[in-house]
Structure 1
Amino acid sequence: AFVAELERLNLTGADAPIIVQCFEVGPLERLSRRIKAPLAQLIAAGGAPHDRPDLTYAQMITPDGLKAVAVYAAWVAPDVTLVMPRDTQGRSTAPSSLVGDAHAAGLKVVVWTLRAENVFLPLERRSGALPAAHGDMAGYVRALADTGVDAIFSDFPALAREGLR
Protein backbone atom coordinates (compact mmCIF):
# COMPACT_ATOMS: atom_id res chain seq x y z
CA ALA A 1 0.00 0.00 0.00
CA PHE A 2 2.85 2.40 0.81
CA VAL A 3 4.61 1.84 -2.52
CA ALA A 4 1.30 2.16 -4.37
CA GLU A 5 0.72 5.54 -2.74
CA LEU A 6 4.26 6.68 -3.58
CA GLU A 7 3.65 5.61 -7.18
CA ARG A 8 0.31 7.46 -7.28
CA LEU A 9 2.07 10.62 -6.03
CA ASN A 10 5.00 10.13 -8.41
CA LEU A 11 7.45 9.89 -5.50
CA THR A 12 9.39 6.77 -6.39
CA GLY A 13 12.25 8.33 -8.37
CA ALA A 14 15.73 9.12 -7.12
CA ASP A 15 14.88 12.83 -7.28
CA ALA A 16 11.70 12.51 -5.19
CA PRO A 17 11.53 15.29 -2.57
CA ILE A 18 11.20 12.79 0.28
CA ILE A 19 13.38 10.61 2.47
CA VAL A 20 11.80 7.38 3.67
CA GLN A 21 13.17 6.50 7.09
CA CYS A 22 12.95 3.37 9.21
CA PHE A 23 14.69 1.88 12.25
CA GLU A 24 14.30 -1.64 10.84
CA VAL A 25 16.53 -3.06 8.12
CA GLY A 26 14.13 -5.38 6.28
CA PRO A 27 11.59 -2.79 5.14
CA LEU A 28 14.35 -0.58 3.75
CA GLU A 29 15.95 -3.51 1.95
CA ARG A 30 12.59 -4.42 0.36
CA LEU A 31 11.86 -0.80 -0.57
CA SER A 32 15.30 -0.43 -2.17
CA ARG A 33 14.31 -3.13 -4.67
CA ARG A 34 11.04 -1.38 -5.56
CA ILE A 35 11.69 2.36 -5.51
CA LYS A 36 14.58 4.73 -6.15
CA ALA A 37 13.42 7.41 -3.67
CA PRO A 38 16.03 8.16 -0.98
CA LEU A 39 15.98 5.78 1.98
CA ALA A 40 17.41 6.47 5.44
CA GLN A 41 18.48 3.91 8.00
CA LEU A 42 17.60 5.38 11.40
CA ILE A 43 20.17 4.58 14.10
CA ALA A 44 19.37 4.86 17.80
CA ALA A 45 22.03 5.55 20.42
CA GLY A 46 21.59 2.03 21.78
CA GLY A 47 19.88 -1.25 21.06
CA ALA A 48 19.22 -2.97 17.77
CA PRO A 49 16.73 -2.91 14.92
CA HIS A 50 13.58 -4.76 15.99
CA ASP A 51 13.81 -7.06 12.98
CA ARG A 52 17.55 -7.73 13.42
CA PRO A 53 18.30 -8.22 17.14
CA ASP A 54 21.53 -9.97 16.08
CA LEU A 55 22.78 -6.66 14.62
CA THR A 56 23.24 -3.77 17.04
CA TYR A 57 23.08 -0.13 16.05
CA ALA A 58 26.67 0.16 17.31
CA GLN A 59 27.73 -2.45 14.75
CA MET A 60 25.82 -0.62 12.01
CA ILE A 61 27.88 2.57 12.48
CA THR A 62 31.26 0.90 12.10
CA PRO A 63 32.94 1.38 8.70
CA ASP A 64 31.91 -2.14 7.65
CA GLY A 65 28.40 -1.68 9.01
CA LEU A 66 28.00 1.56 7.09
CA LYS A 67 29.11 -0.15 3.88
CA ALA A 68 26.36 -2.72 4.46
CA VAL A 69 23.78 0.05 4.99
CA ALA A 70 24.91 1.73 1.75
CA VAL A 71 23.77 -1.36 -0.18
CA TYR A 72 20.10 -0.46 0.45
CA ALA A 73 20.04 3.15 1.69
CA ALA A 74 21.39 6.52 0.57
CA TRP A 75 21.28 8.04 4.04
CA VAL A 76 22.17 7.05 7.57
CA ALA A 77 20.20 8.87 10.25
CA PRO A 78 21.93 8.57 13.63
CA ASP A 79 20.82 9.99 16.95
CA VAL A 80 22.64 13.33 17.20
CA THR A 81 24.71 12.11 20.17
CA LEU A 82 26.36 9.51 17.95
CA VAL A 83 27.88 12.34 15.90
CA MET A 84 28.45 14.81 18.75
CA PRO A 85 28.84 12.66 21.88
CA ARG A 86 28.37 14.02 25.39
CA ASP A 87 30.40 13.48 28.52
CA THR A 88 28.94 12.35 31.86
CA GLN A 89 27.97 15.95 32.72
CA GLY A 90 26.12 16.35 29.41
CA ARG A 91 28.68 18.55 27.63
CA SER A 92 29.57 17.99 23.98
CA THR A 93 32.84 16.24 23.35
CA ALA A 94 34.87 15.99 20.15
CA PRO A 95 32.82 14.74 17.20
CA SER A 96 32.93 11.02 16.48
CA SER A 97 34.24 9.64 13.19
CA LEU A 98 30.70 8.68 12.11
CA VAL A 99 30.19 11.44 9.52
CA GLY A 100 33.52 10.77 7.82
CA ASP A 101 33.00 7.02 7.95
CA ALA A 102 29.49 7.36 6.47
CA HIS A 103 30.68 9.65 3.70
CA ALA A 104 33.49 7.19 2.92
CA ALA A 105 30.82 4.48 2.54
CA GLY A 106 28.87 6.70 0.13
CA LEU A 107 26.14 7.65 2.59
CA LYS A 108 24.73 11.04 3.43
CA VAL A 109 24.17 11.81 7.14
CA VAL A 110 21.07 13.33 8.70
CA VAL A 111 20.99 13.64 12.51
CA TRP A 112 17.83 13.64 14.62
CA THR A 113 16.03 15.32 16.35
CA LEU A 114 17.21 18.79 17.30
CA ARG A 115 15.00 20.62 19.77
CA ALA A 116 15.47 24.03 21.37
CA GLU A 117 14.55 23.09 24.94
CA ASN A 118 17.42 22.90 27.43
CA VAL A 119 16.65 19.30 28.32
CA PHE A 120 17.54 18.23 24.75
CA LEU A 121 20.66 20.37 24.35
CA PRO A 122 24.20 19.70 25.51
CA LEU A 123 25.01 21.44 28.78
CA GLU A 124 27.09 24.21 27.18
CA ARG A 125 24.14 25.19 24.94
CA ARG A 126 21.55 25.49 27.73
CA SER A 127 20.18 28.80 28.93
CA GLY A 128 19.04 29.01 32.54
CA ALA A 129 17.93 26.18 34.77
CA LEU A 130 14.44 25.41 33.46
CA PRO A 131 14.37 22.23 31.38
CA ALA A 132 11.71 23.67 29.03
CA ALA A 133 13.51 26.99 28.47
CA HIS A 134 15.09 27.46 25.07
CA GLY A 135 18.86 27.36 24.82
CA ASP A 136 21.28 27.99 21.97
CA MET A 137 19.97 25.54 19.39
CA ALA A 138 21.27 27.69 16.52
CA GLY A 139 24.80 27.41 17.93
CA TYR A 140 24.37 23.66 18.26
CA VAL A 141 23.29 23.48 14.60
CA ARG A 142 26.43 25.42 13.60
CA ALA A 143 28.60 22.98 15.57
CA LEU A 144 26.89 20.03 13.90
CA ALA A 145 27.27 21.60 10.46
CA ASP A 146 30.99 21.86 11.19
CA THR A 147 31.09 18.05 11.57
CA GLY A 148 29.98 17.71 7.94
CA VAL A 149 26.45 16.39 8.46
CA ASP A 150 24.36 16.74 5.33
CA ALA A 151 21.03 17.49 7.02
CA ILE A 152 19.22 17.63 10.33
CA PHE A 153 15.76 16.75 11.56
CA SER A 154 14.42 19.46 13.86
CA ASP A 155 11.18 20.36 15.58
CA PHE A 156 12.30 23.99 15.24
CA PRO A 157 13.11 24.51 11.53
CA ALA A 158 13.40 28.31 11.79
CA LEU A 159 16.04 28.02 14.51
CA ALA A 160 17.84 25.33 12.53
CA ARG A 161 17.95 27.58 9.46
CA GLU A 162 19.23 30.43 11.64
CA GLY A 163 22.08 28.19 12.72
CA LEU A 164 22.99 27.49 9.10
CA ARG A 165 23.19 31.15 8.04
Structure 2
Amino acid sequence: MPRRRPLVIGHRGAPGYRPEHTRSSYDLALALGVDAVEPDVVFTADGVLVVRHENEIGATTDVADHPEFARRRTTKTIDGAEHTGWFTEDFTWDELATLRCRERLPQLRAASASFDGEQPPLRLRDVLDLVRQASLDQGREIGVVLEIKHATYFSGLGYDVAGAIAAELRDAGWATGRLPLYLESFEQTVLEAVRAEGVRGTYIYLLEAAGSPYDLVARQGRAAPTYREQATPAGLDRLVGRVDGISVDKRMILAPDKLGRATGPASVVADAHARGLRVFTWTCRPENAFLVGQFRRGRAKAEFGDYAAEWRMIADAGVDGVFVDHPDLGVAFFRG
Protein backbone atom coordinates (compact mmCIF):
# COMPACT_ATOMS: atom_id res chain seq x y z
CA MET A 1 0.00 0.00 0.00
CA PRO A 2 1.30 3.51 -0.75
CA ARG A 3 2.35 5.69 2.18
CA ARG A 4 -0.01 8.51 3.14
CA ARG A 5 3.04 10.78 3.08
CA PRO A 6 6.15 9.98 1.07
CA LEU A 7 9.55 9.37 2.55
CA VAL A 8 11.58 12.56 2.25
CA ILE A 9 15.07 11.51 1.17
CA GLY A 10 18.07 13.85 1.33
CA HIS A 11 19.51 13.41 -2.15
CA ARG A 12 23.28 13.22 -1.56
CA GLY A 13 22.63 14.99 1.72
CA ALA A 14 21.49 18.59 1.35
CA PRO A 15 23.18 19.64 -1.92
CA GLY A 16 20.98 22.71 -2.29
CA TYR A 17 23.05 24.19 0.53
CA ARG A 18 26.36 22.32 0.76
CA PRO A 19 28.57 20.47 -1.76
CA GLU A 20 27.02 17.06 -2.35
CA HIS A 21 28.19 13.98 -0.47
CA THR A 22 30.18 16.00 2.09
CA ARG A 23 29.96 15.62 5.84
CA SER A 24 28.28 19.01 6.17
CA SER A 25 25.75 18.10 3.47
CA TYR A 26 24.71 14.97 5.35
CA ASP A 27 24.80 16.68 8.75
CA LEU A 28 22.47 19.39 7.49
CA ALA A 29 20.04 16.95 5.88
CA LEU A 30 19.83 14.94 9.08
CA ALA A 31 19.35 18.05 11.20
CA LEU A 32 16.54 19.23 8.91
CA GLY A 33 14.55 16.07 9.54
CA VAL A 34 14.80 13.87 6.46
CA ASP A 35 13.56 10.30 6.69
CA ALA A 36 16.65 9.00 4.90
CA VAL A 37 19.75 10.11 3.02
CA GLU A 38 21.07 8.83 -0.28
CA PRO A 39 24.77 8.04 -0.77
CA ASP A 40 25.99 6.98 -4.22
CA VAL A 41 28.87 4.50 -4.12
CA VAL A 42 31.81 3.83 -6.43
CA PHE A 43 35.17 2.10 -5.92
CA THR A 44 38.77 3.12 -5.33
CA ALA A 45 41.78 1.26 -6.73
CA ASP A 46 42.16 -0.55 -3.40
CA GLY A 47 38.51 -1.57 -3.22
CA VAL A 48 37.18 1.05 -0.81
CA LEU A 49 33.55 2.07 -1.34
CA VAL A 50 33.51 5.85 -1.59
CA VAL A 51 30.58 8.22 -1.79
CA ARG A 52 30.58 10.16 -5.06
CA HIS A 53 27.84 10.89 -7.57
CA GLU A 54 30.08 9.52 -10.33
CA ASN A 55 33.45 7.84 -10.47
CA GLU A 56 34.66 10.82 -12.54
CA ILE A 57 35.62 13.41 -9.91
CA GLY A 58 36.96 16.34 -11.90
CA ALA A 59 33.83 18.45 -11.35
CA THR A 60 33.26 17.62 -7.69
CA THR A 61 36.77 17.76 -6.19
CA ASP A 62 39.92 19.86 -6.51
CA VAL A 63 41.84 17.00 -8.16
CA ALA A 64 42.76 19.25 -11.11
CA ASP A 65 44.68 21.47 -8.71
CA HIS A 66 46.95 18.61 -7.61
CA PRO A 67 49.98 18.46 -9.92
CA GLU A 68 50.91 15.05 -8.54
CA PHE A 69 47.74 13.64 -10.13
CA ALA A 70 47.92 15.45 -13.48
CA ARG A 71 49.02 12.31 -15.37
CA ARG A 72 45.96 10.41 -14.20
CA ARG A 73 43.61 12.47 -16.30
CA THR A 74 42.32 10.11 -18.95
CA THR A 75 39.39 9.17 -21.18
CA LYS A 76 37.21 6.15 -20.50
CA THR A 77 34.02 4.63 -21.85
CA ILE A 78 31.53 4.05 -19.05
CA ASP A 79 28.11 2.54 -19.74
CA GLY A 80 28.61 3.22 -23.43
CA ALA A 81 29.48 6.92 -23.07
CA GLU A 82 32.92 8.52 -23.29
CA HIS A 83 34.14 10.59 -20.33
CA THR A 84 37.37 12.49 -19.77
CA GLY A 85 38.69 13.34 -16.33
CA TRP A 86 39.94 11.69 -13.16
CA PHE A 87 38.35 8.46 -11.94
CA THR A 88 38.08 7.04 -8.44
CA GLU A 89 39.24 3.60 -9.52
CA ASP A 90 42.63 5.10 -10.42
CA PHE A 91 43.24 6.35 -6.86
CA THR A 92 43.74 4.63 -3.55
CA TRP A 93 41.56 5.76 -0.68
CA ASP A 94 44.55 7.44 0.98
CA GLU A 95 45.10 9.47 -2.18
CA LEU A 96 41.43 10.43 -2.52
CA ALA A 97 41.40 11.54 1.10
CA THR A 98 43.90 14.30 0.22
CA LEU A 99 41.34 15.91 -2.13
CA ARG A 100 38.69 18.44 -1.15
CA CYS A 101 35.13 18.56 -2.43
CA ARG A 102 33.54 21.21 -4.61
CA GLU A 103 30.02 22.24 -5.57
CA ARG A 104 29.02 20.48 -8.78
CA LEU A 105 26.71 23.30 -9.97
CA PRO A 106 28.45 26.52 -8.87
CA GLN A 107 26.60 28.76 -11.33
CA LEU A 108 23.26 27.65 -9.87
CA ARG A 109 24.32 27.22 -6.27
CA ALA A 110 26.84 29.91 -5.48
CA ALA A 111 26.15 29.78 -1.75
CA SER A 112 27.00 26.09 -1.66
CA ALA A 113 30.14 26.77 -3.68
CA SER A 114 31.34 29.07 -0.89
CA PHE A 115 32.14 25.87 1.02
CA ASP A 116 34.44 24.55 -1.72
CA GLY A 117 37.82 23.23 -0.69
CA GLU A 118 36.98 22.56 2.94
CA GLN A 119 35.93 18.90 3.18
CA PRO A 120 37.41 15.60 2.03
CA PRO A 121 35.41 12.86 0.32
CA LEU A 122 33.62 10.28 2.45
CA ARG A 123 33.57 6.51 2.48
CA LEU A 124 30.32 4.60 2.57
CA ARG A 125 31.18 3.47 6.09
CA ASP A 126 31.45 7.10 7.19
CA VAL A 127 27.88 7.78 6.04
CA LEU A 128 26.48 4.58 7.54
CA ASP A 129 27.99 5.40 10.92
CA LEU A 130 26.86 9.01 10.70
CA VAL A 131 23.24 8.06 10.06
CA ARG A 132 23.22 5.47 12.84
CA GLN A 133 24.54 8.06 15.30
CA ALA A 134 22.02 10.66 14.16
CA SER A 135 19.22 8.14 14.71
CA LEU A 136 20.42 7.62 18.28
CA ASP A 137 20.89 11.33 18.94
CA GLN A 138 17.50 12.31 17.52
CA GLY A 139 15.55 9.37 18.91
CA ARG A 140 14.06 8.34 15.56
CA GLU A 141 14.78 5.87 12.77
CA ILE A 142 16.63 7.40 9.83
CA GLY A 143 17.26 5.35 6.74
CA VAL A 144 19.93 4.99 4.09
CA VAL A 145 19.06 4.76 0.40
CA LEU A 146 22.22 3.27 -1.09
CA GLU A 147 22.64 3.77 -4.82
CA ILE A 148 25.04 1.40 -6.56
CA LYS A 149 26.66 3.16 -9.51
CA HIS A 150 27.97 1.58 -12.73
CA ALA A 151 27.89 -2.00 -11.48
CA THR A 152 28.53 -3.62 -14.85
CA TYR A 153 31.44 -1.29 -15.51
CA PHE A 154 33.11 -2.00 -12.16
CA SER A 155 32.45 -5.73 -12.49
CA GLY A 156 34.26 -5.59 -15.81
CA LEU A 157 37.29 -4.18 -14.00
CA GLY A 158 37.31 -7.16 -11.68
CA TYR A 159 35.48 -5.78 -8.65
CA ASP A 160 33.09 -8.02 -6.74
CA VAL A 161 30.49 -5.28 -6.54
CA ALA A 162 27.72 -7.14 -4.73
CA GLY A 163 30.10 -8.95 -2.42
CA ALA A 164 31.91 -5.77 -1.40
CA ILE A 165 28.68 -3.90 -0.71
CA ALA A 166 27.26 -6.79 1.29
CA ALA A 167 30.46 -7.10 3.32
CA GLU A 168 30.48 -3.38 4.12
CA LEU A 169 26.83 -3.40 5.17
CA ARG A 170 27.35 -6.46 7.37
CA ASP A 171 30.43 -4.96 9.00
CA ALA A 172 28.58 -1.72 9.71
CA GLY A 173 25.50 -3.47 11.11
CA TRP A 174 23.18 -2.46 8.28
CA ALA A 175 22.55 -5.83 6.60
CA THR A 176 20.14 -7.49 9.00
CA GLY A 177 16.99 -5.47 8.43
CA ARG A 178 17.06 -3.82 11.86
CA LEU A 179 17.77 -0.43 10.30
CA PRO A 180 15.80 1.09 7.37
CA LEU A 181 17.94 0.25 4.34
CA TYR A 182 16.99 0.74 0.70
CA LEU A 183 19.23 -0.44 -2.13
CA GLU A 184 18.81 1.07 -5.57
CA SER A 185 20.47 0.94 -8.95
CA PHE A 186 19.79 1.59 -12.61
CA GLU A 187 20.89 -2.03 -13.11
CA GLN A 188 18.57 -4.75 -11.88
CA THR A 189 21.29 -7.42 -12.05
CA VAL A 190 23.33 -5.99 -9.18
CA LEU A 191 20.25 -5.60 -6.99
CA GLU A 192 19.51 -9.30 -7.40
CA ALA A 193 23.15 -10.12 -6.64
CA VAL A 194 23.18 -8.10 -3.40
CA ARG A 195 19.91 -9.69 -2.32
CA ALA A 196 21.49 -13.11 -2.98
CA GLU A 197 24.26 -12.12 -0.57
CA GLY A 198 21.65 -12.08 2.19
CA VAL A 199 21.35 -8.33 2.69
CA ARG A 200 17.90 -7.54 4.04
CA GLY A 201 16.42 -4.31 2.77
CA THR A 202 14.04 -2.81 0.24
CA TYR A 203 15.27 -3.15 -3.34
CA ILE A 204 14.38 -0.28 -5.66
CA TYR A 205 15.00 -0.30 -9.42
CA LEU A 206 15.84 3.10 -10.89
CA LEU A 207 14.25 3.99 -14.22
CA GLU A 208 15.41 6.79 -16.49
CA ALA A 209 13.01 8.71 -18.70
CA ALA A 210 15.08 7.61 -21.73
CA GLY A 211 17.67 5.01 -22.63
CA SER A 212 18.16 1.40 -21.59
CA PRO A 213 19.75 -0.29 -18.55
CA TYR A 214 23.40 -0.94 -19.25
CA ASP A 215 23.51 -4.40 -17.68
CA LEU A 216 20.90 -5.55 -20.18
CA VAL A 217 22.55 -3.69 -23.06
CA ALA A 218 25.81 -5.47 -22.24
CA ARG A 219 24.04 -8.83 -22.51
CA GLN A 220 21.39 -8.24 -25.15
CA GLY A 221 22.65 -5.36 -27.25
CA ARG A 222 19.91 -3.64 -29.21
CA ALA A 223 17.39 -6.20 -28.01
CA ALA A 224 17.60 -4.80 -24.48
CA PRO A 225 14.34 -3.22 -23.29
CA THR A 226 14.24 0.49 -22.70
CA TYR A 227 13.47 1.97 -19.31
CA ARG A 228 10.20 3.28 -20.69
CA GLU A 229 9.23 -0.22 -21.78
CA GLN A 230 9.98 -1.48 -18.29
CA ALA A 231 7.65 1.19 -16.87
CA THR A 232 4.67 -0.04 -18.90
CA PRO A 233 2.15 -2.40 -17.28
CA ALA A 234 3.71 -5.34 -19.10
CA GLY A 235 7.20 -4.29 -18.05
CA LEU A 236 6.12 -3.82 -14.44
CA ASP A 237 4.60 -7.30 -14.49
CA ARG A 238 8.08 -8.67 -15.17
CA LEU A 239 9.54 -6.78 -12.19
CA VAL A 240 7.11 -8.21 -9.66
CA GLY A 241 8.92 -10.57 -7.30
CA ARG A 242 12.33 -9.40 -8.51
CA VAL A 243 12.41 -5.93 -6.93
CA ASP A 244 10.33 -4.24 -4.24
CA GLY A 245 9.76 -1.02 -6.10
CA ILE A 246 10.86 1.44 -8.75
CA SER A 247 12.26 4.95 -8.64
CA VAL A 248 11.41 7.08 -11.64
CA ASP A 249 12.54 10.34 -13.18
CA LYS A 250 9.87 12.85 -12.15
CA ARG A 251 9.21 13.61 -15.81
CA MET A 252 7.70 10.13 -16.10
CA ILE A 253 5.05 11.31 -13.62
CA LEU A 254 4.66 14.91 -14.78
CA ALA A 255 4.53 13.89 -18.47
CA PRO A 256 5.35 17.33 -19.92
CA ASP A 257 4.30 18.05 -23.49
CA LYS A 258 6.47 19.75 -26.11
CA LEU A 259 5.53 23.18 -24.74
CA GLY A 260 6.64 22.29 -21.21
CA ARG A 261 3.15 21.85 -19.81
CA ALA A 262 2.66 18.99 -17.37
CA THR A 263 -0.09 16.62 -18.46
CA GLY A 264 0.25 14.24 -15.50
CA PRO A 265 0.15 12.67 -13.17
CA ALA A 266 0.80 9.78 -15.52
CA SER A 267 -0.38 6.28 -14.69
CA VAL A 268 3.02 4.78 -13.82
CA VAL A 269 2.58 5.24 -10.06
CA ALA A 270 -0.88 3.71 -10.00
CA ASP A 271 0.23 0.92 -12.33
CA ALA A 272 3.14 0.04 -10.04
CA HIS A 273 1.02 0.22 -6.89
CA ALA A 274 -1.53 -2.11 -8.48
CA ARG A 275 1.27 -4.68 -8.68
CA GLY A 276 2.46 -4.17 -5.10
CA LEU A 277 5.52 -2.14 -6.08
CA ARG A 278 6.60 0.99 -4.23
CA VAL A 279 7.37 4.13 -6.23
CA PHE A 280 10.02 6.75 -5.48
CA THR A 281 10.76 9.75 -7.71
CA TRP A 282 13.73 12.02 -8.34
CA THR A 283 14.57 14.81 -7.99
CA CYS A 284 12.37 17.50 -6.43
CA ARG A 285 14.31 20.75 -6.81
CA PRO A 286 12.96 24.30 -6.57
CA GLU A 287 15.21 26.13 -9.05
CA ASN A 288 13.84 27.15 -12.44
CA ALA A 289 16.60 25.16 -14.15
CA PHE A 290 15.04 21.92 -12.93
CA LEU A 291 11.32 22.65 -13.15
CA VAL A 292 8.98 21.74 -15.99
CA GLY A 293 8.46 24.82 -18.15
CA GLN A 294 5.04 25.86 -16.89
CA PHE A 295 6.29 26.09 -13.30
CA ARG A 296 9.26 28.37 -14.00
CA ARG A 297 9.07 31.99 -12.88
CA GLY A 298 11.31 34.58 -14.48
CA ARG A 299 14.37 33.89 -16.57
CA ALA A 300 17.07 33.28 -13.95
CA LYS A 301 17.89 29.58 -13.80
CA ALA A 302 18.99 29.76 -10.17
CA GLU A 303 15.82 31.46 -8.93
CA PHE A 304 13.05 29.42 -7.36
CA GLY A 305 9.97 28.89 -9.49
CA ASP A 306 6.55 27.63 -8.49
CA TYR A 307 8.02 24.39 -7.22
CA ALA A 308 5.05 23.81 -4.91
CA ALA A 309 2.73 23.41 -7.90
CA GLU A 310 5.04 20.87 -9.50
CA TRP A 311 5.53 19.01 -6.23
CA ARG A 312 1.77 18.95 -5.62
CA MET A 313 1.28 17.01 -8.85
CA ILE A 314 3.94 14.54 -7.72
CA ALA A 315 2.36 14.19 -4.28
CA ASP A 316 -1.08 13.74 -5.81
CA ALA A 317 0.26 10.81 -7.82
CA GLY A 318 0.71 8.96 -4.53
CA VAL A 319 4.48 8.37 -4.57
CA ASP A 320 6.08 6.56 -1.64
CA GLY A 321 9.33 8.51 -1.59
CA VAL A 322 10.78 11.74 -2.97
CA PHE A 323 14.40 12.78 -3.37
CA VAL A 324 15.03 16.41 -2.46
CA ASP A 325 18.07 18.70 -2.65
CA HIS A 326 16.66 21.20 -0.11
CA PRO A 327 15.53 19.07 2.84
CA ASP A 328 13.83 21.91 4.71
CA LEU A 329 11.59 22.64 1.73
CA GLY A 330 10.90 18.95 1.13
CA VAL A 331 10.03 18.23 4.75
CA ALA A 332 7.77 21.28 4.98
CA PHE A 333 5.94 20.50 1.74
CA PHE A 334 5.55 16.72 1.80
CA ARG A 335 4.72 16.53 5.50
CA GLY A 336 2.51 19.61 5.50
Return the TM-score normalized by structure 2.
0.47
Unaligned runs of 5+ in 1: none
Does the aligned pair in 2 maintain the 1:137–1:159 contact within 8 Å?
no
- What secondary structure, in the 3-state scheme, does the structure 2 residue paired with 1:19 have? strand
The partner residue of 1:84 within 254, 260, 280 is 254
- What secondary structure, in the 3-state scheme, does the structure 2 residue paired with 1:73 have? coil
**In 1: Cα distance, 2:246 partner to 2:259 partner:** 27
Range moving further from structure 2, 48-57 or 61-70: 61-70
What is the root-mean-square deviation in Å for CA atoms of aligned residues? 1.5
Does the aligned pair in 1 maintain the 2:188–2:205 contact within 8 Å?
yes
The one of the two structures with greater contact order (alpha-carbon pairs below 8 A, sep at least 6) is: 2
Paired residues, number = 165
Corresponding position of 2:195: 32
Corresponding position of 2:307: 137
Does the aligned pair in 2 maintain the 1:16–1:38 contact within 8 Å?
no
Residue 8 (1) aligns with residue 178 (2): no
**In 1: Cα distance, 2:178 partner to 2:322 partner:** 19
Code of the aligned partner of 1:101: D
Corresponding position of 2:183: 20
Range moving further from structure 2, 28-37 or 93-102: 28-37
Corresponding position of 2:226: 56
Corresponding position of 1:65: 235
**In 2: Cα distance, 1:107 partner to 1:18 partner:** 16
Per-residue deviation at 1:69? 2.1
CA separation of 1:69 and 1:15: change in aligned 2, threshold 3 A = farther
Identity %: 35
The partner residue of 2:281 within 111, 121, 126 is 111
Code of the aligned partner of 1:10: G
CA separation of 1:153 and 1:98: change in aligned 2, threshold 3 A = same
Does the aligned pair in 1 maintain the 2:286–2:306 contact within 8 Å?
yes
Residue 93 (1) aligns with residue 263 (2): yes
CA separation of 1:14 and 1:137: change in aligned 2, threshold 3 A = farther
Corresponding position of 2:140: none
**In 2: Cα distance, 1:76 partner to 1:60 partner:** 10
**In 2: Cα distance, 1:102 partner to 1:31 partner:** 23
**In 1: Cα distance, 2:235 partner to 2:303 partner:** 38
Corresponding position of 1:47: 211
Per-residue deviation at 1:71? 2.0
